[in-house]
Each structure stands twice: as C-alpha cells, then as structure tokens.
C-alpha cells in the first residue's frame, strides 16, 4: 500500500468526519469514521475535534486492532469498525449519534417500513440491543442487527452504516436519519397512524433499486 494511497484515504476519512458535524449528525467528537485500505483501517482518533486533524495525524490499525501508524489513540468504538471489516466486504464505516435515529432507537426494535429506501439498506432496519460503548458486547449486538443489512440503529446510542466507499456509507447514514425523521414526524400527528409498506412492496422496491442509476 503506497503512502499516497494512505494519504488520500485519510483525507477522505477526515473530510467525511467533518461532514457529520456540519450536517448535524454528531455533536463535538461523538461518532467516528473509518476506511479500509488494503489490510489497514484508517480511523478517526478518540476525543480530537475533527477540524484540528491534519494530514500528519493519520491513525491506522491492522485488522487485529494493533495500531501501526499515528500518535493519537484510535476511537473507542474501534471494535465495531473492525468487526464490520472482518465479517463483510465493507471498505468504509460511518457511526453517528444522529438525533432522530437515536430517538427512534429508544422506541422500537425495528424501524417501521415508512419508506421504500429501507431497501437500500438491505431491508427493515433493526435496532441492536444496548451495550456499553466501545465494548465487544456492543460490537456483537451490532453484528446481529446488521445481518443481511448495511446499516442499523444502536439502542440509546446512534447509527452504524457501511459501504464500498465513504460516500456510499455516508449516504446510507443520511438516508437512515431521514427515514427516522419521517417516521417520528408522521407518528407525532394526534389521532392518526402512519401507513407502512408491506414486505412485498419493499421487495418490489428493492428489485427496482438494483437497476437505479445504471445505463439502459
């Protein structure tokens, strides 16, 4: 893996992390972002404001979690990131404390099918049971909720999404937060209950989404 490739990936990790703050998906240094480059995982550090990170602040670990680059400590949520890279083909992971998604995580065990974009995450979005942040227990709960999915909610905590790129992982996070906001908004109308999609309707949407954006 070339130094140039690592520098480009780090720049994308930092840029995505800053975007989570700008877009209101995290507050302060909460949340974290990572990208896999070969056998290395570049990850945001613990407790450092993203606007202070420089090209020289690269933090990299191997798939066993051993730090191989950088002087700053990796995020405390490293176990979640590593489990995703070990168990999936993910190239990027985004974890946030998005307001609406976190609120939904305290109310249900699965986000109701309020919109067909749930299909873009693999199906109905599950809520992983609560566990202390930064623990192997939380990572294990997350993996269960991610089975067959590319995103999930963490009870009383936030969101996790992954993808083939940082842009894709971030887009999935944004879609998840938006769906949570839609459901909360619709559910708040007194005397009315939101209509939900059926499993068959979601499957139909999933099939159509497979060809979305491809040349005819």
Q: Which of 7, 77, 110, 201 is catalytic?
A: 77
Sorted by sequence, the CB contacts under 8 Å of residue 196 that are 6+ apart come out as 112, 113, 114
DSSP SS3 for 146: helix
- Whole-angstrom distance, CA of residue 57 vs CA of residue 149: 32
CA distance 52 to 70: 15
- 36: Cβ–Cβ under 8 A, 6 or more apart, which residues? 42, 85, 90, 91, 92
Asked about 77 being catalytic, the answer comes back as yes
Burial of residue 11 (CB within 10 Å: 0-12, 13-18, 19+) is middle
CA 159/CA 115 separation, integer angstroms: 18
Longest CA–CA span in the chain (Å) reads 60
Q: Which two tokens stand for residue 115?
A: 């919109």
What is d(CA 123, CA 157) in angstroms, rounded to the nearest whole number?
21
Cβ–Cβ < 8 Å for 133, 77: yes
Distance CA 42, CA 211 (A): 32
Catalytic residues: 77
């Amino acid at each position: 893996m070339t130094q140039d490739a690592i520098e480009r990936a780090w720049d994308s990790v930092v840029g995505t992390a800053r975007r989570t703050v700008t877009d209101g998906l995290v507050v302060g240094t909460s949340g974290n972002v990572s990208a896999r480059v070969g056998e290395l995982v570049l990850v945001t550090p613990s407790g450092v404001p993203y606007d202070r990170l420089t090209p020289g602040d690269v933090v990299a670990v191997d798939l066993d979690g051993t730090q191989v680059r950088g002087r700053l400590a990796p995020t405390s949520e490293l176990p979640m990131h590593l489990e995703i890279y070990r168990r999936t083909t993910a190239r990027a992971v985004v974890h946030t404390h998005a307001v609406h998604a976190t609120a939904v995580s305290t109310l249900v065990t699965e986000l109701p099918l309020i919109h067909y974009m749930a299909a873009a995450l693999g199906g109905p979005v599950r809520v992983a049971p609560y566990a202390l942040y930064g623990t192997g227990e939380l990572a294990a709960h997350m993996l269960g909720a991610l089975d067959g999915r590319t995103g999930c909610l963490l009870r009383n905590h936030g969101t996790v999404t992954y993808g083939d790129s940082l842009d894709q992982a971030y887009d999935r996070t944004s879609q998840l937060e938006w769906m949570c906001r839609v459901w909360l908004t619709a559910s708040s109308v007194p005397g009315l209950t939101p209509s939900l999609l059926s499993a068959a309707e979601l499957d139909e949407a999933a099939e159509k989404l497979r060809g979305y954006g491809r040349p005819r």
